[in-house]
Amino acid sequence: MLILGLDPSLSCTGWGIVRTQGSRITHIANGQIATSPRAAHADRLAQLYQGIVAVIAEHQPERAAAEEVFVNKNPQSTLKLAQARGAVLAACGTAGLPVNEHSARLVKKAVVGTGAADKAQVQAMLKVLLPGVSLAGADAADALAVAIADAHISPRI
């Protein structure tokens, strides 16, 4: 099964695809969709939507997984994150992909073994779990972690 992991953000949405075969997980691809802060807000959301549509068309995943929304101290930041997440999830819905949602803490626990892991620990574990992987960036690494966690948490969905 191919799983698309997503780390939505208005500035840079990460994506990662893994293949599961029984308990084996292999890396297929990962990347980031960056938007310009100078672009109109609607254009940035459209770029995220179109970018994920293109990833889905190219790799044909069977399901997707995304981190649940977390609330920032700044309500404007939370709103922008939610809008970016909506654009990304709409792309999945348009393609007919089921989407599982997991908390950041659960993703870290599934990948590293502790929900309090930092980004460096997650990236180090990704290199252990996916030997030879070349990460497109921190957001792509987070998306791969979501995909791996989903493979462990929701193996039959």
Q: Does the annotation mark 142 as catalytic?
A: no
CATH number belonging to domain 2-153? 3.30.420.10
User: In 10 A of CB 152, how many CB atoms?
Assistant: 15
Q: Which of 43, 62, 139, 142 is catalytic?
A: 139
Q: So where are the chain's domains?
A: 2-153
When pLDDT is cut at 50, 70 and 90, the band that residue 37 belongs to is very high
Distances (CA, A) of 90 to 46, 51, 62, 105: 11, 12, 16, 24
pLDDT tens for each residue of 56-72: 999 999 999 998 877 66
Chain segment 81-138, per-residue pLDDT in tens:
899 999 999 999 999 999 999 999 999 999 999 898 999 999 999 999 999 999 999 9
**Element containing residue 17 per DSSP (H, E):** strand 12-21
- Compute how many other C-beta atoms are within 10 angstroms of the C-beta atom of residue 34: 17
CA 91 to chain centre: 13
Catalytic, 67? Answer yes
Say whether 43 counts as a known binding-site residue.
no
Q: Are 5 and 16 in contact, with CB atoms under 8 Å apart?
A: yes
pLDDT computed for residue 71 by the predictor: 66
